[in-house]
Structure 1
Amino acid sequence: MELALIGLQNAGKTSFVNVVSGGEFVEDMIPTVGFNMRKVTKNKVSIKMWDMGGQERFRNMWERYCRGVTAVVYVLDAADKENFPLAKTELHALMQKPAVAGVPLLVLGNKSDLKDAADARTVIDAMELRRLSGREVCCYCISCKSQHNVDVCLEWLSKHAK
């Protein structure tokens, strides 16, 4: 399985990669510059994860790393509601690219352990996920810190990745 992890800066993409690959959570992460790639085997499934930088200057590279992946994982800081409109705009712009046509999409509302975090229904509505057609789309609220729902996400990816 090959995954592209994308989303705005500070959403928790690298934290998700770290939790999936080794169970470690680090509170203060250094922003990803460009991208990182990590391979891991989970439940007898080999997973190659492209962890993309979320800063504006790197977003034009997202499409390039989404070509040929088995699924796109869009990570959203569920407690940063102020950035939902920008996150939605970036997601929808990417999903319209021919390179990602039909590729399954998993949206993760990360940081669900925080008091002000949006629930899954709010994330689905705010990100207008029902407008994305022609692909499998799913949304889970997770916490990389507590590892809440991380296994459920991996299970979904195993079942729905092309």
Structure 2
Amino acid sequence: RVICTAEPELLKMVTEKTFRPNLFFILRQSDIAVPPLKETTEDIPVIADFFLKRYAAQTGKQRKHLDASAIKALKLYPWPGNVRELKDIVLFADFHAKGDTITAANISFNLSDASLIEDLHMSQQALEKYKIEDALTRTGWIKSQAAKLLKISRTTLDYKIKQYGLSQS
């Protein structure tokens, strides 16, 4: 048995006569449709945890865990590289995280693909809003402390609160 994947779609390639039809039908004895990671974000924590467990077993190091901020950051990302990219990002974060917890601050996305800029801009705004809300909640809405926690000025924090329409509930 052969398991394969193709990009672009093989059936389209067959109709365009850029892929041999007889090989296509040999390969397509059984078809398994796997949706892209960006459509199944609920699977991200489970898949990421699998990679963290396997990395810990391979290296003999203590297994690290993703905190809520890291999971949220991962779910907001558009995942153009699918599961392979998730693996790389999670293992990079594991390697660079201090302690046994990976936070959003430890996660570094590849921003070199120009086609991702718009999606990432929205994702980064959502992540920024989340971080601001978290800092305000943790400090009891004491803005000077929240600004210090976020490493931004109080004026910038006030601007961001207004920009995102945040209010103390």
Q: TM-score, normalised by structure 1?
A: 0.29
Relative CO higher for 1 or 2, CA cutoff 8 Å, sep ≥ 6? 1
Higher radius of gyration, 1 or 2: 2
Greater helix percent: which structure? 2
Q: TM-score, normalised by structure 2?
A: 0.28
